[in-house]
Structure 1
Amino acid sequence: MHCRLCESSRLASVVDLGTTPPCESFLSEDQLNLPESTYPLHLRVCADCLLLQIPALITPEETFTEYAYFSSYSESWMRHAREFTGAAVTRLGLGPDSFVVEVASNDGYLLRNVVAAGIRCLGIEPSANVGAAARTAGVPTLTEFLTEDSARRVRAEYGAADLVVANNVYAHIPDLRGFTRALRTLVAEDGWISIEVHHALNLVRHGQFDTIYHEHFQYYTLASAQRALATAGLAVADVETLPTHGGSLRIWARPEAVAEPSPRVSELLVIEADTGLHAVEGYRSLREQAERVRQDLLRFLLDQKAAGRRVVGYGAPGKGNTLLNYCGIRPDLLEYTVDRNPYKHGRYTPGTRIPIHPPERIDADRPDFVLVLPWNLETELTAQLRHIGEWGGQLVFPLPAVRVVAPSPAEVAAR
């Protein structure tokens, strides 16, 4: 194994989560009697450039040709996209003569706001099914992967982009340096690139091991993102910390010739260094945190099983499938889970084979506990599920530590 950023062979183990299927490979009923392919899920850190990474054991084509994740099913994520678009238009002075490109634009969740603002835009989305949904919503979308070749073709046909948006895609690329060069090709010489990624500081500090799955090939600190961008002549001009996905970075990058780093860049680098993330030893605690959550969650579920109480899940996100497989949770402990995405209804979680139903199933069954798998949406889902308190139901959040939350009488009465 070699680091995909600097090619060093000095990769140190951080946490080994065993073997799991790809997190979005949901099973149909016909597939339940067939074998599943599983792959090692072992996070390592490069001792030389400190990029957190897993081996590229599956290809993006295997994951993203048809994809089960539609961004528009999260109300909080839609609000996040609207707020980002409004702020970016103001900050960068975007108007009718501007051009915005989003890479991995999914179902048009963000660019529909750009269309509404009268700004020319283009989505580049490899998944045919979600790209079709974007075009139906009126968002111009190309169905293909961003490569150096496709970036050159887009620039030749549409021109250079004033803003390139790359939200939650920079971790999904095994050819990190080639993809970074493609971003540089898309952006104008005085343009901007906005990249949102889960911050490795939160991954380690809060034990967020379930954000590790096969379609995430690497995990960034600001320092390692700086090193990656520099390989294509890009520099970090500004950075914001965000609450999304359990704690993310929004990195504003520009061509090196025009990038002037804001004070926030150096301030965050100091925070990362003080947390220990500029040395291999700073990552060692993640394994112990993952083991503690596994033990506590299994103990809770086994206790409820012994007491005859019903526990079901809410959500079927990729992170949930890492959690379920690592902990060995199957339908004997988690009867089923529900999800708002109709694509997943009637299917089963990969590896653990837990059935997925529409959310209305919870109201019909009135279980004692609902295990919230997309724990990062706690505020949104606590509001959506507060009515389970009417029958004494309680919510369970597995990370950063197992917590049981009962909706308050005031929340239930206000419904």
Structure 2
Amino acid sequence: MHDCIVCGNKTLSKVIELGFHPIADTFLKKEQVFKPQKLYPLNCLLCRQCGHLQNEYVVPPEERYVENEYSYTASNSKISCAHWQEYCDTVSQYINLSPQDHVIEFGSNDGILLEYFTKKGAKATGIDPSPSMAKLAAKRGVYTVNSFLGKTALSVALKRGGKAKLICGNNVFNHIFNLNESVAAASQALRPDGYFVFESPYLKDTIENYLFDMIYHEHISYFSIKSADYLFKKHGLYITNIEHNKYHGGCIRVYAQKDLALYNKKLVTDYIKAEQASKLFSLETYKKFMAKIAKDKFATLNQIYALKKQGKKIAAIGAATKGNTLMNYYKLDSNTIDFVTDSSPQKIGKYTPGSYLPILHDRKLASEKVDVGLIISWNIGRFLAEKIKKINKNIRLIVPGEKKLL
């Protein structure tokens, strides 16, 4: 993919190269471990015009969500559930959501956010391509159009609830390849006073904090406010509010409406000035990024190799997509890590892609007498550390690189 998916510019620079990786969120069943697994280049291109960062290679969406069983659930921890409750409360208040207003969420996953909106009286419709996630949402009583975002799916949603007061996409807007088509369709589905809201990892946080494991094939885009503003303006949408939070190491929640008079030019300009001041769009910034993550890689590997020489049993904690990027970039496998632990029923009993490590329940950290836990789900690291210490009080916990536990 050599054209910018936001502005169409052909002047893109390859700034991040992480090697060849499998699809990071495709956890394998036992019978799949013995079959050849596809590997794809995981590189990122920076647009010199609008500042958008995007993956160089796009894996077909059917392969990511339909052909393989999707395993990430939005309600996978107390931290996640609390975040979506806060999202619902904050957004509802900001947009003045009324009972019976129609809320459409694309990439609605297991329906946790829409369930919160229904409790406020809203009419909620989800759109999600994963059959397994649509089934989980149905168990919550959330109606889901089992499809990718587009005119067809939105027409089904509109017939059900009318034009929307809110259309939102959270940690999924960055998964969409046909961004311009999707934003145009969503804009048409909004009421005149409606809001388009997306939440996504913030490129500035990802680069400044060296969060290379936030890069994987599902994340096609890495948004700055500069690129988001450019995209919305192309389709008659104008940013009215921006909120910055620490979810996933740093996310932006961006609100947009159709009325140009509501455009918050000062807020947008302040964010873009901060991005430019941090040299977010400079090639030198990405050279520094690549050098730092390589240094962290070798430091972590030296630590792990030393522990293995001492005969220590090491488990990776948290079967996360970001963890798969890390383990495949670090080339961790059964020679260095004994197994991975998690508490998700969607993951236990499966194997990690590329590294082919079995995923066991967190309880195994005690029964298997694990000496060292490598926390790869650092975004819920504090929660995991407290939980794991209750299971195995003698375990030593380490974090790759210099990441902070959130």
Is the TM value for this pair above 0.5? yes
Offset of 1:16 from its aligned partner? 0.7
Gaps of 5+ in 1: 405-415
Distance 1:279 1:53 in 2: 15
Structure 1 residues 46, 262: closer, same or farther in 2, change over 3 A? closer
Structure 1 pair 360–9 and aligned structure 2 pair: CA distance change class (3 A): same
Match of 1:332 in 2: 335
The 8 Å contact of residues 190 and 258 in structure 1, kept in 2 or not, is answered as no
Structure 1 residues 258 and 182: CA distance shift in structure 2, 3 A: farther
SS of the residue corresponding to residue 229 of structure 2 reads: helix
Match in the other structure for 1:398: 400
Shift of 1:308: 1.1
Question: 1 CA distance for matches of 2:341 and 2:392?
Answer: 18
> Matches of residues 158-169 of structure 1 in structure 2 within 5 Å?
158-169=161-172
Q: Offset at 1:122?
A: 0.9
Corresponding residue for residue 368 of structure 1: 371
Counterpart of 2:53 in structure 1 is 52
Deviates more, 1:60-69 or 1:100-109: 60-69
Bigger shift: 339-348 or 274-283? 274-283
SS at match of 2:218: coil
User: Partner residue of 1:313?
Assistant: 316
* Structure 2 residue 32 is the aligned partner of structure 1 residue 35: no
Q: In the aligned structure 2, how far is the partner of 1:182 from the partner of 1:64?
A: 21
Q: Does 1:213 align with 2:216?
A: yes
Q: TM-score, normalised by structure 1?
A: 0.92
Partner of 2:116: 113
1:182 aligns with 2:185: yes
Partners of 2:337 and 2:186 in 1: CA distance: 42
Q: What amino acid is the match of 2:76?
A: Y
Q: 1:274 aligns with which of 268, 273, 277?
A: 277
The CA deviation at 1:172 is 0.2
Q: Report deviation, 1:186.
A: 2.3
Specify the SS of the correspondent of 2:254: strand
Q: Measure the CA separation in 2 of the matches of 1:331 and 1:165.
A: 40
Query: Is the contact made by 2:202 and 2:224 (CA closer than 8 Å) also made in structure 1?
Result: yes
Indicate the residue corresponding to 1:14 in structure 2.
15
Query: CA shift at 1:89, angstroms?
Result: 2.1
- 1:157 deviates by 4.3
C-alpha separation between the residues in 2 aligned to 1:4 and 1:249? 19
- Equivalent residues of 1:50, 1:279 under 8 A apart: no
Q: Distance in 2 between matches of 1:309 and 1:350?
A: 24
Q: By how many angstroms is 1:330 displaced? A: 0.3
Letter in 2 for 1:170: F
Whether 1:2 aligns to 2:39 is no
What residue in structure 2 maps to residue 413 of structure 1?
none
- The code of the aligned residue for 1:81 comes to W
Give % identity. 29
Alpha-carbon distance between aligned partners in 1 of 2:296 and 2:231, rounded to the nearest angstrom: 32
CA shift at 1:247, angstroms? Answer: 0.4
Query: What is the rounded CA distance, in whole Å, between the counterparts of 2:403 and 2:6 in structure 1?
Result: 35
User: What is the distance in 1 between the residues matched to 2:382 and 2:182?
Assistant: 34
Say which is worse superposed, 312-321 or 259-268, in terms of deviation. Answer: 259-268
Q: Distance in 1 between matches of 2:236 and 2:280?
A: 24
Question: Aligned equivalents of 2:302 and 2:62: distance in 1?
Answer: 38
Residue 283 of structure 1: how far off its partner (Å)? 3.1
Corresponding residue for residue 62 of structure 2: 61
Cα deviation digits, residues 242-261 of structure 1 (max 9, x gap): 10001010001111435331
> How many residues end up aligned between the 2 structures?
402
1:253 paired residue among 242, 253, 256: 256
Distance 1:383 1:183, change over 3 A: farther
Distance 2:79 2:33 in 1: 34
For the 8 Å contact 1:388–1:394, the answer to whether it is kept is no
Tell me the SS of whatever aligns to 1:150.
Answer: helix
Specify the SS of the correspondent of 2:9: coil
Question: For the residues of structure 1 that align with 2:339 and 2:46, how far apart are their CA atoms?
Answer: 35
Q: Deviations over 1:352-388 (max 9, x none)?
A: 1011111111121231211111111122222222325
Give 3-state SS (helix, strand or coil) of 1:90's partner: helix
The whole-number CA distance in structure 1 between the counterparts of 2:223 and 2:63 is: 23
SS at match of 2:269: helix
SS in structure 2 at match of 1:266: helix
* CA deviations over 1:110-136 (Å, ceiling 9, x no partner): 111111122211111111111111111
The CA distance in 1 between the partners of 2:102 and 2:301, in whole Å, is 50
Per the alignment, do residues 228 and 340 of structure 1 end up closer, same or farther by CA in structure 2, a change over 3 Å counting?
same
* TM-aligned CA deviation for residue 214 of structure 1: 0.6
The aligned residue for residue 81 of structure 2 is: 78
Is 1:322 matched up with 2:292? no
CA shift for structure 1 position 191: 0.9
2:107 aligned partner, one-letter code: A
Deviations 1:181-228 (A, max 9, x none): 122122211111211010010111011111110111110111111112
Instruction: Go from structure 1 to structure 2 and tell me whether the alpha carbon gap of 1:231 and 1:15 turns closer, same or farther (over 3 Å shift).
Output: same
What SS does the corresponding residue of 1:41 show, helix, strand or coil? strand
1:344 alignment partner, one of 336, 344, 347: 347
Change (3 A) 1:109 1:403: closer
Report the Cα distance in structure 2 between the residues aligned to 1:186 and 1:371, rounded to whole angstroms.
45
Pick which of 299-308 and 51-60 moved more: 51-60
Q: Go from structure 1 to structure 2 and tell me whether the alpha carbon gap of 1:331 and 1:377 turns closer, same or farther (over 3 Å shift).
A: same
Residue in structure 2 matching 1:244, options 247, 271, 275: 247
List per-residue Cα deviations over 1:20-77 (Å, max 9, x = no partner).
1101222222222221110000112112222101134311111112311111112111
The root-mean-square deviation of aligned C-alpha atoms, in Å, is 1.8
* TM-score (norm: length of structure 2): 0.94
